[in-house]
């Protein structure tokens, strides 16, 4: 597959994601091995303009209320996530919360989706960012404001 190379403006916006990688990997919930994976992801982000370095990876921070997630008799937020991934030539950025309603699943009450598509030939928009990447990062920095008495099961995962 042939890949598109980002211009300096997009390259610099993508570089901001290194702050998210560092933040998540330094959380107390991250495992020791996650930090070395985060270093590799940082390297891959730094070299996002070099297709020969492309490799699939993901890093996320989740907060769950697992009891509510499995209980259809109560209302509330059962999941909040922040996720950045690179897969098959797509850089994805997501933040969302999921709620449940006793009458029906109410869907997402918050979501942020961004993406940069690196395939050379595209029939769709190459760059899609709801808002500035730093808003996503700053929201993740404030993850503690989403923790409640029951929405408190925190999980970090870093995969390459």
Instruction: Show the DSSP H helices in the chain as ranges.
Output: 8-15, 17-25, 32-46, 66-69, 133-141
Query: Domain for residue 3, yes or no?
Result: no
Query: Domain for residue 2, yes or no?
Result: no
Query: What is the count of structural domains for the chain?
Result: 1
Q: What is the pLDDT of residues 67-123, one digit of tens each?
A: 888 876 778 888 999 999 999 999 999 999 888 775 555 555 568 899 999 999 888
Query: Domain for residue 1, yes or no?
Result: no
Query: Domain for residue 67, yes or no?
Result: yes
Helix (H, G, I), strand (E, B) or coil at 85: strand
Query: Domain for residue 106, yes or no?
Result: yes
pTM for this entry: 0.91
Domain extent for 94? 8-159
**139: its two tokens:** 């929201």
DSSP type of residue 103: S
Compute φ and ψ for 133, nearest 5 degrees: -55, -35
Q: Which residue has the higher pLDDT, 76 or 28?
A: 28
Averaged pLDDT, 29-44: 96
The pLDDT value recorded for residue 87 is: 97
């Amino acid at each position: 597959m042939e890949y598109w190379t980002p211009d300096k403006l997009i390259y610099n916006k993508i570089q901001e994601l290194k702050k998210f990688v560092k933040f998540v990997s330094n959380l107390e919930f991250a495992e020791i091995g996650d930090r070395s994976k985060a270093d590799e992801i940082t390297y891959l982000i730094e070299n996002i303009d070099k297709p020969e370095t492309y490799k699939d990876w993901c890093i996320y921070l989740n907060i769950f209320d697992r009891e509510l997630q499995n209980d259809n008799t109560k209302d509330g937020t059962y999941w909040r996530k922040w996720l950045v991934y690179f897969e098959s030539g797509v850089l994805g950025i997501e933040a969302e919360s999921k709620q449940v309603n006793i009458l029906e699943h109410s869907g997402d009450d918050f979501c942020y989706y961004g993406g940069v598509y690196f395939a050379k030939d595209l029939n769709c928009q190459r760059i899609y960012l709801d808002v500035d990447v730093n808003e996503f990062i700053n929201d993740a920095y404030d993850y503690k404001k989403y923790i409640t008495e029951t929405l408190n099961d925190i999980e970090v995962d870093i995969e390459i």
